[in-house]
Amino acid sequence: MTQNEAIVVLDYGSQYSQLIVRRVREAGVYSELVRFDADEATVAALNPKGIILSGGPNSVYAEGAPQLPAWVLASNLPVLGICYGLQLQAHHLGGKVEPSNDREFGHAVITITAESPLLADIPTEHSVWMSHGDRLETLPAGWHPIAISPNSPYAAAADEDRRWYGLQFHPEVVHSPYGKQVLHNFLYRICACAGSWQPSHFIQEAVERIQQQAPSGQVICALSGGVDSAVAALLAHQAIVERLTCIFVDNGLLRRGEAEQVSRTFRDHFQIELITVDAAEEFLAALAGVTDPEQKRKIIGEKFIRIFEREARNLDDAAYLVQGTLYPDVIESTAPDRNVAVKIKTHHNVGGLPDDMKLKVIEPLRMLFKDEVRAAGLALGLPEDWVWRHPFPGPGLAVRLLGAISFERLETLRHADAIFLEELRAAGLYRATQQAFAVLLPVQSVGVMGDYRTYADTIAIRAVSTEDFMTADWARLPYELLAKVSSRIVNEVTGVNRVVYDISSKPPATIEWE
């Protein structure tokens, strides 16, 4: 994405790397996450005003640990190292990093010991979030400490002349309450950024890019019913108008009322050409007996593509496929490589695409986070109730139905899910949560209903609060609401006698169960 300025984050494998990018964008500066060994030309193309080195799971002194590119060392750009990034700076500049006898994981209190633009407008003592087993023992020449903690003599350090800074703590997480100010100081006091990034600014550039990627011929857009594919479709419609046909595939794995809402919004409201394909039997046949979640995702991804290819042949051999892949989808589907990025799950838009697919993929949202997509959707005129819909996974209910998939089990899950969302809306808490859904478990248990013994299914319900979907916490829903949902599901959904509430955060769990 072309910008007048950017902050480049080199990824060393931290679970928080994506959050650094998110926080920088929140502060009004465009940012991208790139591999730690990206070449100088790749980074230069982003017009960087500064570099941030992420944390990571390795030890800088270990054999094979990812290191600092030579071009960073030769650069005149400001550099901020976070955790592993700080240790990496010291390791390459003559400092000393060693295993710590007292590792720090979780909350710690740091004390600012010297004035620095990086820590301006921040209380002298404040809480931060630490996550490290190594620590910096000796600073490189030209560096000085600017903050300490009980277990870190260099909780923050700087070479002010060179504009190189390092933090042993993580400013990007919400557990560091002044972390946003630290990043703001780096962006504006040190890198002298102008701060012109807004998600809506991306619209015109995305339209122009689609026109460049598909200069002629027919284009199809995979419409799923979620905000991501909807925004991608509206961008493509602006870009190529009459050459676009949206295709909505009813794969039998949708929530109640999904197909009707898609048709009503796109065909009637936006008057965009829409083809609905009833492929439920095809998908259920392909998924018969499959229980592994990764295999489910890949089967669904390939089946979607084959259907789109089939439909494309009926549209003057359309050569392009637009889909709503987001930045977190790309990041979470990264294959394990050099012990840096760990694949969490295959996103069907990213890792589930067949190698021999004929269509050329266009992903106008590939570098955006969910809330940025929502901002773009509002600017494009997408109805608010659609913009604020909770995310729904591309593989649909297939990854919320654990174990083997059948029409009967899908109907059970659809019914339970509809009850949960209906009660959440009635309580005025739908917008207070960012994602909520039901999961059908491959677990049966004993119950008593009407003086009879039952042996029936278990439904798990999950609701989370999150800013960016890269981390999330379970929503503290009122007991009265949970009781009502449980009672309705057990009484109204045939074959269910037990409801449980998921109180796992992300990490260690993911938001979806598969």
Beta-carbon neighbour count of residue 289 at 10 Å?
7
Q: What is the length of the chain?
A: 514
Residue type, 32: E
Q: What is the DSSP string of 412-454?
A: HHHHHHHHHHHHHHHTT-TTTSSEEEEEEEEEEEEEEETTEEE
Residue 270 lies in a domain: yes
The CATH number of residue 419's host domain is 3.30.300.10
191 noted as active-site residue: no
Catalytic residue of the set 91, 132, 170, 237: 170
Single out the catalytic residue among 5, 32, 104, 172.
172
Cα–Cα distance for residue pair 193/7, rounded to 1 Å: 9
Tell me whether residue 119 is in a domain: yes
* HEC profile of 392-403: CCCCHHHHCECC
352 and 465, same domain (yes or no): no
- 12 and 91 both lie in a single domain: yes
Is residue 255 domain-shared with residue 177, that is, in the same domain?
Answer: no
Tokens representing residue 491 in the block: 């009484």
47 and 70 assigned to the same domain: yes
Give pLDDT tens digits for 416-449. 999 999 999 999 999 999 999 999 999 999 998 8
Residue 175 bears catalytic tag:
no
List the domain range (segments joined by +) for residue 133. 6-190
Q: Residues within the annotated binding site?
A: 224-230
Domain limit, last residue, from 154, 173, 190 = 190
Catalytic residue from among 26, 83, 104, 258: 83
Cα distance between residue 152 and residue 148, in whole Å: 6
Do 215 and 346 lie in a common domain? yes
Place of tokens 């489910």: 296
Count up the domains in the chain and report the number: 3
User: Does 400 reside within a domain?
Assistant: no
Q: Are residues 185 and 206 in the same domain?
A: no
Query: Radius of gyration of the chain from Cα atoms?
Result: 25
**What is the domain-level CATH number for residue 313?**
3.40.50.620
Q: What is the pLDDT of residue 336?
A: 38
Query: Reduced to 3 DSSP states, what percent helix, strand and coil does the chain have, rounded to the nearest 5?
Result: 35, 25, 40
> Does residue 457 lie within any of the structural domains?
yes
Identify the pLDDT of residue 213: 93
Which of 86, 84, 85, 107 minimizes the C-alpha distance to 177? 107
The CATH number covering residue 100 comes to: 3.40.50.880
Sheet (strand 320-322) strand order: 274-278, 244-250, 219-223, 320-322, 360-362
Same domain, 298 and 431: no
Q: Residues 369, 416: one domain? A: no
Is residue 228 within 8 A of residue 383, CB to CB? The reply is: no
- 395, part of any domain: no
- Is 508 a member of any domain? no
Can you tell me the distance from the alpha carbon of 501 to that of 483, in angstroms, rounded to the nearest whole number? 10
What pLDDT is attached to residue 347? 45
Quick one: 70 and 133 in the same domain? yes
Binding residue numbers for ATP: 224-230
Which portions of the chain are predicted below pLDDT 70?
A: 1-3, 101-105, 132-133, 331-355, 468, 470
Q: What amino acid is encoded at 475 in this protein?
A: A
* Domain end marker among 170, 190, 210: 190
Residue that has been written with the tokens 């889909």 in this structure: 323
Is 513 part of a structural domain of the chain? no
Cα–Cα dist 61/134, whole Å: 10
Judge contact between 118 and 190, C-beta under 8 A.
yes
Q: Which two tokens stand for residue 174?
A: 């919400």
At 183-194, the pLDDT tens digits run 999 999 999 999
The answer on 174 and 35 residing in a single domain is yes
157 and 260 both lie in a single domain? no
Max Cα–Cα distance, the chain, nearest Å = 79
Q: Is 170 a catalytic residue?
A: yes
Assess if residue 75 is contained within a domain. yes
Clarify whether residues 422 and 489 are in a common domain: yes
- Domain termination residue (choose one: 326, 353, 387): 387
